[in-house]
Amino acid sequence: MSTFKGKVAIVTGAASGLGLTISLKLLAEGCFVALFDLNKNALHTWFGSEANAQIMPLDITKSKSVNASVETVFQTFGRIDILVNCAGITGITNIKSHEVNDENLRKVFEINFMGSFYTSKAVIPYMLKENYGRILHIASIAGKEGNAGMLAYSASKAAVIGMTKVQGKEYAETGITVNAMAPAVIRTALVEAMPEAQVKYMADKIPMKRCGTLEEAANLAAYIVSDENSFTTGFTFDLTGGRATY
Ligand SMILES: NC(=O)c1ccc[n+]([C@@H]2O[C@H](COP(=O)([O-])OP(=O)(O)OC[C@H]3O[C@@H](n4cnc5c(N)ncnc54)[C@H](O)[C@@H]3O)[C@@H](O)[C@H]2O)c1
């Protein structure tokens, strides 16, 4: 029997790319999934006919909306077992640090870091009630290594990795684990919107000489948020075709 049968998950960024693929996998495994994303139309297109999906259009940078939506998920399902934070943006890339626009950097941090902070802060009290939880923040190899040309993105993802380490330790004596994943390049809307020179810079660094696939990301994510992943917390799992060996 699937470890996900009857479990309740929240996935942010569920309307596209990694969040979409992870949500479809969790649904296929018998999970109830609450789908958080700005893109209401895409949520309806992908999940409109899914009985176990709860479509919840919202902006994860608005802490009040996040808190209200998490509360709705709890009222609807009676528990929250899993949170996967996929919503993210790159901001402006292929620029040097002295060219970074302050407002753009703030926006990247608001979505990539603050959004993941707000959602995890909101779900942890419900997970503590059950002494069980699986939180996965999608970070990036950019946060581990720093991609030249991507200051805002790399620094925001390094902050997510830092938060993962702290949260992993803080809840280590409960049944809650908090981990991150650091993918290299996976061809999604996020990557298609980047300058080709920046994408080439990232793809050229992958020893396997190919991009990752959405299926590979969803398989690793599913393991990280499964019951089986019970002795690893505060860790950033690698998904880079050999780029990072730590
Ligand atoms: N694709 C890659 O190569 C890659 C590599 C490393 C890390 N990542 C990370 O994986 C995550 C998913 O990336 P993706 O490639 O699937 O991107 P994507 O652009 O395909 O999907 C991102 C989703 O997040 C949603 N979103 C953005 N801002 C939001 C907000 N404020 N509130 C709610 N939803 C919001 C978008 O509407 C979109 O549906 C991101 O955090 C990204 O940084 C991606």
Model pLDDT for residues 61-120, shown as the tens digit of each residue: 999 999 999 999 999 999 999 999 999 999 999 999 999 999 999 999 999 999 999 999
Quickly list H helices, the chain: 17-28, 40-47, 63-77, 102-109, 115-130, 141-145, 151-170, 189-192, 196-203, 214-224
How does residue 1 score in pLDDT terms, banded at 50, 70 and 90? low
Bridge partners (DSSP) listed for residue 185: none
With a 6 Å cutoff on the Cβ, whether 189 touches ligand 1 is yes
243, 141 Cβ separation under 8 angstroms? yes
Expressed in angstroms and rounded, the spacing between residue 18 Cα and the centre of ligand 1 is 7
Which of 118, 126, 153, 171 is labelled catalytic? 153
Q: Which residues pair with 79 in a beta bridge?
A: none
What is the rounded average pLDDT for all residues in the chain?
A: 97
Provide the token pair at 175.
């049944």
Q: Which long-range contacts (CB under 8 A, 24 or more apart) does 70-73 make?
A: 70/10, 70/119, 70/122, 70/123, 70/126, 71/122, 73/8, 73/10, 73/34
Beta carbon of 143 within 6 Å of any ligand 1 atom = no
Q: Please give the Cα distance from 221 to 215 (Å, whole number).
A: 10
Q: How many CB atoms lie within 10 A of CB 48?
A: 9
157-198 per-position pLDDT tens digit: 999 999 999 999 999 999 999 999 999 999 999 999 999 999
The arithmetic mean of pLDDT across residues 24-33, rounded, is 98
The yes-or-no verdict on residue 2 having pLDDT over 90 is no
Q: Residue with the nearest Cα to atom 42 of ligand 1?
A: 88
* Structural domains of the chain, ranges and CATH numbers in brackets: 8-235 (3.40.50.720)
